[in-house]
Amino acid sequence: MTTLAVVAQKGGVAKTTTVANLAAAYGVFGRRVLAVDLDPQFDLTRAFGQAPSEAPATVLDVLMGEIEVGEAVVEVAPGVDLIASHRDLKRLELTLVSEVQRERFLDRALSKASSAYDVVLIDCPPNLGLLTVNALFASPEILVPVSMRDSAALQSAGEVRATVATLAERGVDVRIRALVRTMVDRRRLACRAIEETLPQLGVPVASAEIPMAAAFDNSVVLGQPLVISDPASEGASAYRRLALELLQPAAKLRLEAVS
């Protein structure tokens, strides 16, 4: 099973869009996919046209140990199951602070369902709090979206890199699989400037880049990832390329990033 957490220190970098479309792409490729919405804002749940109140259970119930993963999932696309989020995750995060091994609640819950899925994708909150740390402990590899129209997103990626490095030094099995360039429009000066600065972070950069396109916003209104709602679109094609790229061994991705 491949587990990827999609992490960003700030919102507005296409984090949820990346999780939803990668999940849909892997489903199209015939993989069994579990998408986990760990963000109290439940944007991933909405991206699949769902509401927490309509789900059999949410990730809150799973983390509290009240229900197993298999009892919480709802099928949202061909090959794709979703564990919906809940706004009360914010309160749970405060409760977890006093718990023993508070960073491993998600890891323990997902390990029980490891044989049922080929790919697990985790949508994290737009911060590096305890919920995101749970995702980092549950996922040996993470993706970091970087908005190519927002220089602050580059700083956010640097903060994620520093957090991952600290955890790795403490023996946690986690690494950045790749930075993912999102909202790419090479006509913009900001895009070109960020592109020149990315190598300074010293981590792999995915070859596939995600264009800036209004179609992504439209897909949220439809309650379907763009890979499903408009599979012929440029954005959907970009996420399919990214999904295929991430199926390569990590060493090959790193080699391509350096070359």
Q: pTM of this prediction?
A: 0.92
Q: What is the pLDDT of residues 3-37, one digit of tens each?
A: 999 999 888 999 999 999 999 999 999 999 999 99
Under DSSP, the state recorded for 252 is H
Domain 2-258: state its class. Answer: alpha beta
Is the pLDDT at 100 greater than 70, yes or no?
no
Whole-angstrom distance, CA of residue 181 vs CA of residue 251: 19
Exposed, middle or buried, 24 (CB in 10 Å: 0-12/13-18/19+)? buried
Q: Please tell me the predicted confidence (pLDDT) of residue 97.
A: 62
Q: Please tell me the predicted confidence (pLDDT) of residue 115.
A: 86
Pairing of strands 141-147, 74-77: unpaired
Higher pLDDT, 208 or 111: 208
Whole-angstrom distance, CA of residue 70 vs CA of residue 83: 9
Percentage of residues in the chain with pLDDT exceeding 70?
Answer: 93
Is the pLDDT at 150 greater than 50, yes or no?
yes
